[in-house]
Amino acid sequence: MAIEKPEKAPKLADPIQSSIDPGTQEMIKRAQDLGIDTVFDRAVQMKPCNIGIQGICCKNCAMGPCRLPLPKGGIEGEDTRKGLCGATANTIAARNFIRMIAGGAAAHSDHGRCVAEVFLSVARKESDAYQIKDVDKLLSIAPYFDVAITVEEDGEVKDRDLDEITLEVAEKAINEWGKAEGELYYLKRAPEPLYEKWKKTGVLPRNIDREIVEIMHRTHMGVDQDYKNLMKQGTRAALADGWGGSMLATDLQDVLFGTPYPLQAEANLGVMKKDHVNIIVHGHEPVLSEMIVAMCQKPEMIEYAKSKGAKGIQLGGICCTANEIFQRHGVPQAGTYLQQELAIITGACDAMVVDIQCIFQNLANVAECFHTKLITTHPIAKMEQDSVIHIEFDEHHALEDAEKIVRLAIDNFENRGADVMIPQYKAQSVGGFGVESIQYHLGGTFRGTYYTLNDNIINGRIRGVAGVVGCNNARTRHNEAHIAVVKELIKNDVLVLTTGCNGIACAMEGLLTPESAGVYCGPGLKEVCETVGIPPVLHLGSCVDNSRILLAATEVVKAGGLGKELSDLPAAGSAPEWMSEKAISIGHYFVASGVYTVFGLHLPTAGAPVFHDYISKEMEKLYGGKWDLEADPIKHARLMIAHIDRKRKELGIDKARDRQLMDMADRMKLEASA
């Protein structure tokens, strides 16, 4: 008689080891008690492929997948590894790497395209749900598209009709995705020497879509077989993201929804309220979330919620949607990428509304265990599970769609089970910084430049500036590296600019408050933050808003005294817990813009050491920036600080100087010596 083997219980994640956040730990435990699996459990149940992780598995044709593991003990002498067609490890790793760039650039840029389409429909007066909220921003970007904002009439210069300007900007902006000739308009916003470098190396993007398509062609079986040439195309596509699709997304969102200015909110799952209708918006495009915010604020909706027994409507965001509605409306951030399932596990989420990117398919399975309505809204992002409701969002009837969604959530409030558990953890935060508000806070409107920031960098109070951005990754303890890197940087007087899920992690940790300067910063940064009243970690928005970091850095260059291009600045980039293809695209456009960029965890280049050396050493000669990898967060931050110090030395500002008030003559002297 065959003896039946008892079924082995699946291995579960240790909540404490899975996250540094006590609220997250509580929710992981609750999910386990309820027998619901989360990403944290799945991460301990499934190991990543050891060959894929190193970037050396080629599955671009049906003769493969060809796997090229590194020989034990490494490579001595010639590297003879090759696939069936002869592709080397370098070719395979470079192909995989630039396909990741293509994926990331496509995601950001398609998001940008959606915004540009809405903007065009507003310019054509086809949509009344959206309006131009920030005319100044529109007028400030128009010249980059060669759109005149004044005309000469009867010998006099007159302001041009705003509707006309709007339409011309909208048409030229949407054309950036597919124009037949020329190069992207925004490239000229970069410091001139950097633009000249791109021109010389032949990487100026022609249009956004073309660079992504060309990656797919070049990496098709039997096309580009030179890792350097493959990376050249990767660079072109990454620049088309950073200085193209992402920058357009940011600018047009600011024009339509308003340029963010500092405001206050709260962060973490504790923002959900037991006695309110809780709606969580998750994903990326503010085109959707802006309408949901507007609808939730309508008195008749609040009344409707009250008629169902709730005290009101509590909106919260997850992932970059959280960043978008936080920076423009002060809507609380309910959590990072890794907390999406947990928001439902509270039992208090009446509707989760998702659009595109970073959305787990398992949300549907988790929602089925509760009363939560999971609503997909985007035609390109549906789920196969029958329980998911699809309400397609369209800018032509945006408010009606938003109303339908909010009513559905309110109607669902009474279906809530008794077993609600909202972890009582949340922190205060201040966000909504950007190129304009940094200028205001650190420069003053009367100066209208980044002069004060530069002055504080030159005198050493601020040692340098770091962009710390990016995702969470279930292969590492949630938020641990994010927070350790940021704390080490600010302790060493490095001002941090944050976006994406790092921004949410910092908010949850209380680092986005001016008061945190006194607790965590070195003396110089503390003094600056306390004098000006800013947090030591400035939240600049979502991942497409990394373009704000590029432009802020460009303003620093323009303000003078710190070199002529981004690679001269005492600055560095970091993504301590990255996971998405978008992160690779961002990392690479920072590198190609001259920024030393360190990633945590691992890079899919480990199996091709020559290719890895190319991007982490040689690339610096081309663009002034390079990749680096360091999993240990303290070492990671110290690599960035060492780079910052090197740049300070090259600029001749390595000896911290006492603050001196500079006059115009001093400033010109500095500029002349730069």
582 binds ligand NFS (CB under 6 A): yes
Q: Which two tokens stand for residue 642?
A: 């060492």
Q: Which residues pair with 277 in a beta bridge?
A: 313
Contacts to ligand NFS from residues 441-480, by CB under 6 A: 470-471
Rounded to the nearest whole angstrom, what is the least distance from the CB of residue 582 to ligand NFS in the complex? Answer: 5
Residues 333-352 that bind ligand NFS (CB under 6 A): 337
Q: Does 111 bind ligand NFS (CB under 6 A)?
A: no
For 179, phi then psi, to 5°, come to: -70, 150
Residues that bind ligand NFS (rule: CB under 6 A) add up to a total of 13
Give the residue with the Cβ less far from ligand NFS, 461 or 636. 636
Q: φ and ψ at 433, to 5 degrees? A: -90, 160
The reply on whether position 500 binds ligand NFS by CB under 6 A is yes
Site map for ligand NFS, 381-420, x if CB under 6 A?
A: ----------------------------------------
The verdict on 267 binding ligand NFS (CB under 6 A) reads no
When asked if residue 242 is in the footprint of ligand NFS (CB under 6 A), the reply is: no
Q: Residues 344, 416: contact at Cβ < 8 Å?
A: no
Angle at CA of residue 558, ends 552 and 562, nearest 5°? 90
φ/ψ (deg, to 5) at 58 = -105, 120
Quick check: 215 binds ligand NFS (CB under 6 A)? Answer: no
Provide the minimum distance between the beta carbon of 471 and ligand NFS in the complex, in angstroms, as a whole number: 3
For residues 21 and 426, the answer to whether their CB atoms sit within 8 Å is no
If one asks whether residue 627 binds ligand NFS (CB under 6 A), the answer comes out as no
Tell me which residue of 369, 363, 368, 388 sits closest to 378, measured CA to CA: 388
- Exposure of 558 in the CB half-sphere (CA atoms within 13 A): 15
Task: Report the sign of the C-alpha dihedral through residues 192, 195, 200, 201, in that order.
Answer: positive
Please tell me whether residue 543 binds ligand NFS under the rule CB under 6 A: yes
Q: Supply 648's token pair.
A: 């300070």
Q: Which CB atom, from 198 or from 360, has the smaller least distance to ligand NFS?
A: 360
Nearer to ligand NFS, 455 or 577 (CB): 577
Question: Which x/- pattern over 350-369 shows residues binding ligand NFS (rule: CB under 6 A)?
Answer: --------x-----------
Looking at the Cβ atoms of 144 and 360, the one nearer to ligand NFS is 360
Residue type, 378: H
Report the DSSP beta bridge partners of residue 378.
381
Structure tokens at 511: 């680092």
Residue type, 548: R
3-class state of residue 70 by DSSP: coil
Strand partners, 627: 597
Using the minimum distance from each CB to ligand NFS, give the nearer residue, 471 or 670.
471
CB of 539 to ligand NFS, least distance (A): 13
Q: Does residue number 548 form part of the binding site for ligand NFS (CB under 6 A)? A: no
Q: Which of residues 72-91 bind ligand NFS (CB under 6 A)?
A: none
Indicate the residue among 548 and 582 with the shorter CB distance to ligand NFS. Answer: 582
Which one, 478 or 626, has the nearer CB to ligand NFS?
478
Q: What is the DSSP letter of 574?
A: E
CB of 580 to ligand NFS, least distance (A): 4
Shortest distance in whole angstroms from residue 110 CB to ligand NFS: 12
* Amino acid identity, position 530: E
| Between 137 and 284, CB nearer to ligand NFS | 284
Sequence-ordered list of residues with C-beta below 8 angstroms from that of 483, at least 6 positions apart, any chain:
20, 505, 506, 509, 511
3-state secondary structure string, 214-272? HHHHHCCCCCCCCHHHHHHHHHHHHHHHHHHHHHHHHHHHHHHHCCCCCEEEEECHHHC
Shorter beta-carbon distance to ligand NFS: residue 241 or 266 = 241
By the rule CB under 6 A, 566 interacts with ligand NFS: no
Please give the helix or strand (H or E) that residue 564 lies within, else none. none
Give, rounded to a whole angstrom, the gap between the first and last alpha carbons of the chain.
86
Contact flag: residue 528 with ligand NFS (CB under 6 A): no
DSSP 552-614: HHHHHHHHSSS-SSGGGSSEEEEETT--SHHHHHHHHHHHHTT-EEEESS--TTTT-HHHHHI
Q: Which of 94, 320, 517, 571 binds ligand NFS (CB under 6 A)?
A: 320
Q: For ligand NFS, give the closer residue by CB, 95 or 284.
A: 284
- Contact predicate 363/341, CB 8 Å: yes
**Taking a C-beta distance cutoff of 8 angstroms, is the pair 476, 579 a contact?**
no
> Contact between 580 and ligand NFS (CB under 6 A)?
yes
Q: Considering the rule CB under 6 A, would residue 289 count as an interface residue with ligand NFS?
A: no
Q: What's the closest the beta carbon of residue 500 comes to ligand NFS, in angstroms?
A: 3
Q: Site for ligand NFS (CB under 6 A): which residue of 501, 640, 641, 653? A: 501
For the bound state, the minimum distance from the C-beta of residue 646 to ligand NFS, rounded and expressed in Å, comes to: 28
Pairing of strands 373-376, 150-153: unpaired
Binding site for ligand NFS (CB under 6 A): 284, 319-320, 337, 358, 470-471, 500-501, 542-543, 580, 582
